[in-house]
Every structure is written in structure tokens, then in C-alpha cells.
Amino acid sequence: MRVLYVYCHPLADSFHAAIRGEALAGLAEAGHAVDLLDLYAEGFDPILTAERRRDYHDPVRNRHNNQAYADRLMAADAIVVQFPTWSFGPPAMLKGWFDRMFGPGIALDLSDPARARPMLHHIRRISGIATYGRPRWQAIAMADPPRKLIKRYLPWFTGAKATTRYHALYHMNIATPAKRAHFLAKVRHEMRRF
């Protein structure tokens, strides 16, 4: 399977870099072809400029404005999204990628504005890998937007047909080395069976 791996963390020496290493190793062991989209390393521009906003509802212009990234999304059979949770949401960089990719002419058909239709029927699997600085109960108290983004929002664009999994390490700021090692092993195992 061809996997678009969307990675969003600015530090090359972070725990997220270690997670990414294990995830990519697991996907390689399973024989998947991976397109690594490192948003920070590639200098992705998350800003929906005035011009891009004016073009947003025109599917041809919207797609043209996002062509390189749209092509990568269309070439994928599966998506893995890895990110830290900041202020109980994804980083602004990743939110900007969602804003630009999941719009008209790319992931969404708005030819009938009263009835939006999904366009990513080719995506068969979605997986989210996230960390939180707070315990799970606090994320639940905030309705856990990152989990909903992966488990509810993204699958809609596939016609609700994609198999979806979510892997989270909560309260990582106080996680012991053993707990972190366990999470790394879990991620590798899950990506191996992806």
C-alpha cells in the first residue's frame, strides 16, 4: 500500500522524531511504500492567503493552488498523521495543511453547496499518532478535538469507508522512560500491521 505519512513537529531531536522512526520502520517491515511529508522540513506554508481564500470555492483554482500536495494525497492509499497536541488541538502547521487539502476540488465536491460530497474514496486506511501534555481525562473534558479530527473528520472524506485507528500517549510530560519505550514499541507494532 502507498502511505502518505504526514509528520508535524519542528524539532529533529524530539520524542516525536523517535516515534516517527519507529513508525516508518514498522511500515517498511510491512512492505508499504511511504511518502514522508514532513511539513516543517519541507517548509509547508499553512497560511490561507487572501488569494487562496478567494480561489477556495473554485475547485479548479483551489486544486491548482495546492497541486503538489494534492497530487501526493491523491497518490496515497492510506494516510498516517503524526503530531503533538498543543492547546488541545493540532499544531497550526497541521491545521493549515487540513485547511488547504480538505477543500473543494481536492477532497471535497461542493458543486451542490447544499450537499457536500467526499472525494477521497481511494483512501482505505487512516491512522493518527499523537502525544498530549495533559492526562486523558483533561483531553476528554475538552472533547479531545485531535482524536475527533482523526476518527471522525478525516474518514468522512473517504465516504466513511476507511479503517481508522488512533494511537495517543497522554500526559507525556511526566511519562517514565518505560512508558515512552512502551509507546514506541506499540507504534512500531501497529504500523507493522497497518
pLDDT at 20: 98
pLDDT at 179: 97
Q: Are 153 and 107 in contact (CB under 8 A)?
A: no
HSE-CB for 78 with a 13 A CA cutoff: 19
- Give the separation between CA 194 and CA 183, rounded to whole angstroms: 16
Q: What angle do CA 144, 148, 153 make, to 5 degrees?
A: 155
Helix (H) or strand (E) holding 84: strand 78-84
**What is the domain count for the chain?**
1
Q: Which residues of the chain have pLDDT under 50?
A: none
pLDDT at 30: 97
Q: Which domain holds residue 125?
A: 2-192
pLDDT at 42: 97
pLDDT at 25: 98
pLDDT at 61: 96
31-65 residue pLDDT tens: 999 999 999 999 999 999 999 999 999 999 999 99
- Give the separation between CA 142 and CA 98, rounded to whole angstroms: 21
CATH label of the domain that carries residue 173:
3.40.50.360
Helix (H) or strand (E) holding 23: helix 15-29
Alpha-carbon distances, residue 127 vs 20, 43, 81, 109, 187 (angstroms): 13, 23, 6, 23, 10
Dump the DSSP string for 154-188: HHHTTTS-SEEEEEEE-SGGG--HHHHHHHHHHHH
Residue 136 CA to chain centroid, in angstroms?
20
Please measure the distance between the N-terminal and C-terminal CA atoms of the chain and give it in whole angstroms.
9
15-31 residue pLDDT tens: 999 999 999 999 999 99
Q: Are 163 and 124 in contact (CB under 8 A)?
A: yes
- What is the SS3 assignment for 46? coil
Length of the chain: 194
pLDDT at 126: 98
